[in-house]
């Protein structure tokens, strides 16, 4: 779909900071995740995170960590929406794991102590759509409320759903994005499947990568029409020029998944009325998955070409880890910062590119260039693929 919608606010909490400037500084530094959890696996947990820093009110301690992350990121965006009636603001939040940590803790307590002795407040935090609901409760945003789960593509899926709600006239502003926390049940499952990294050196597109480094955080964006933003004096950070999604069913072969991804890229460019040569930057899903990174690289080379003539590539998960529901919205923030600063960060110095993936255009160090059109791509191991074209606010639609 083509879109008149603009990004007028960003709210984020991550292991690399809680402002868009913090995020950009981390990406420019190129410092990869180096922390490990007690079991020795790399995990970018937000150590020292205290939701009361962002939410100075009663009841915060009773929220699950998933809800604390969601509400804290929304608190970063709320001051910019004070001029909008709360019943005209809606919420769409994406999460891969929901409140799984709280579900396990609640059921464990019920098993060990008996159902008469469980904490009833904890029960209210066990449902997957609670973080989105808590955001609406905390800030009074009631135009609409929805939760989306599409694996690591959940955040971008939430943005697409929010744009649909705005198209339908259900509200004037959407607070949309997503987040997930690092928690034991998820980590144990992913490790048993062999689907996460075993060392901090597993970087996107790197030789010898072993899977994603697990991160956590939350990121939401304020989306509204350009006319509405202009009317209230809000300054857009970027325009969503086009958005599209595809889904590969279980059992799809590598070749068919690659064709589907290539079709998605060509389709979103067509919707944006943009030739591949006019894309200035690619912000990619790549998270260190051996098969997933290779598939993405082949599709990118097919559509955009190879070498320095192709758009430069940015893989934020090399620095932030795989933040699941937050990853897509954080990529949009990175796209807006690239346009604002006129720079593209180079990859981490530690990156040794997989020889089979040669042809991707990684800048050598920070590249200074005019960035007007950015393609953002995210996906999931369950078959979701979502692409946005974000352009500078002054660019024609």
pLDDT for the residue 182: 85
Strands 43-44 and 214-215 turn out to be parallel
pTM of the model: 0.94
Structure tokens given for 395: 């660019």
pLDDT over 70 at 296, yes or no: yes
pLDDT for the residue 2: 47
Q: Output the average pLDDT for the chain.
A: 90
CB 146 within 8 A of CB 157: no
pLDDT for the residue 190: 84
Helix axes 20-29, 327-341, angle to 10 degrees: 80
pLDDT for the residue 37: 67
Within 10 Å of residue 168's Cβ, how many Cβ atoms?
9
Same fold, 5-231 and 242-391: yes
pLDDT over 90 at 373, yes or no: yes
Q: What are phi and psi of 93, to 5 degrees?
A: -130, 135
Exposure on the CB side of residue 209, measured as CA atoms within 13 A? 30
Span 233-256, average pLDDT: 84
pLDDT tier for residue 397 given thresholds of 50, 70 and 90: low
Q: By percentage, how much of the chain surpasses pLDDT 70?
A: 93
Exposure on the CB side of residue 308, measured as CA atoms within 13 A? 3
Taking phi first (over 0 means left), then psi (-120 to 50 degrees means alpha), and beta for anything else, what does residue 30 get? Answer: left
pLDDT over 70 at 250, yes or no: no
Q: How do residues 38-64 score in pLDDT, each as one tens digit?
A: 666 777 778 889 999 999 888 788 899
pLDDT for the residue 252: 55
Structure tokens given for 295: 């598939």
Q: How do residues 306-330 score in pLDDT, each as one tens digit?
A: 999 999 999 999 999 999 999 999 9
115 Cβ partners below 8 Å, 6+ apart?
A: none
pLDDT for the residue 377: 98
Q: How do residues 257-279 score in pLDDT, each as one tens digit?
A: 888 999 999 999 999 999 999 99
Domain segments of the chain as ranges: 5-231, 242-391
Strands 281-283 and 367-368 turn out to be unpaired
pLDDT for the residue 106: 66
pLDDT tier for residue 109 given thresholds of 50, 70 and 90: confident
Fold of the CATH domain 5-231: Peroxisomal Thiolase; Chain A, domain 1 (3.40.47)
Rg (CA), the chain: 20
Distance, CA of 280 to CA of 118 (rounded, Å): 54
Least confident of 78-82, 116-120, 360-364, 380-384: 116-120
Q: By percentage, how much of the chain surpasses pLDDT 90?
A: 71
pLDDT tier for residue 116 given thresholds of 50, 70 and 90: confident
CB 104 within 8 A of CB 187: no
82 Cβ partners below 8 Å, 6+ apart?
A: none
CATH 3.40.47.10 fits 242-391, yes or no: yes
pLDDT for the residue 200: 76
Least confident of 25-34, 127-136, 213-222, 252-261: 252-261
């Amino acid at each position: 779909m083509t879109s008149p919608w603009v990004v007028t606010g960003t709210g984020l909490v991550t292991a690399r900071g809680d402002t868009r400037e913090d995020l950009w500084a981390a990406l420019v530094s190129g410092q990869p995740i180096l922390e490990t959890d007690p079991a020795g696996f790399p995990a970018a947990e937000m150590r020292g995170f205290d939701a009361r820093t962002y939410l100075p009110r009663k009841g915060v301690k009773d929220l699950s960590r998933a809800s604390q992350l969601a509400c804290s990121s929304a608190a970063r965006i709320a001051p910019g929406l004070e001029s909008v009636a709360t019943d005209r603001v809606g919420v769409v939040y994406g999460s891969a794991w929901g409140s799984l940590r709280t579900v396990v803790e609640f059921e464990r307590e019920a098993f060990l102590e008996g159902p008469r002795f469980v904490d009833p407040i904890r029960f209210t935090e066990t449902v997957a759509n609670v973080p989105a609901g808590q955001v609406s409760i905390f800030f009074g945003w009631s135009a609409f409320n929805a939760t989306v789960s599409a694996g690591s593509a959940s955040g971008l899926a939430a943005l697409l759903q929010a744009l649909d709600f705005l198209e339908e006239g259900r509200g004037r502003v959407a607070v949309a994005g997503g987040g997930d926390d690092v928690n034991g049940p998820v980590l144990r499952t992913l490790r048993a499947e062999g689907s996460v990294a075993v060392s901090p050196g597993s970087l996107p597109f790197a030789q010898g990568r072993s899977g994603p480094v697990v991160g956590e955080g939350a990121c939401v964006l304020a989306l509204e029409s350009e006319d509405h933003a202009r009317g209230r004096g809000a300054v857009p950070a970027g325009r969503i020029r086009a958005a599209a999604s595809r889904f590969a069913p279980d059992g799809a072969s590598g070749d068919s998944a690659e064709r589907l991804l290539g079709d998605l890229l060509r389709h979103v460019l067509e919707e944006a009325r943009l030739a591949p040569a006019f894309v200035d930057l690619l912000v990619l899903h790549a998270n260190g998955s051996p098969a997933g990174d290779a598939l993405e690289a082949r599709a990118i080379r097919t559509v955009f070409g190879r070498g320095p003539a192709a758009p430069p590539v940015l893989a934020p998960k090399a620095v932030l880890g795989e933040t699941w529901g937050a990853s897509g919205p954080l990529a949009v923030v990175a796209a807006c910062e690239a346009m604002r600063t006129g720079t593209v960060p180079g990859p981490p110095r530690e990156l040794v590119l997989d020889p089979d993936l040669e042809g991707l255009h990684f800048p050598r160090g920070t590249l200074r260039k005019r960035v007007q059109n950015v393609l953002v791509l995210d996906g999931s191991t369950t078959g979701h693929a979502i692409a946005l074209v974000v352009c500078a606010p002054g660019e024609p639609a």
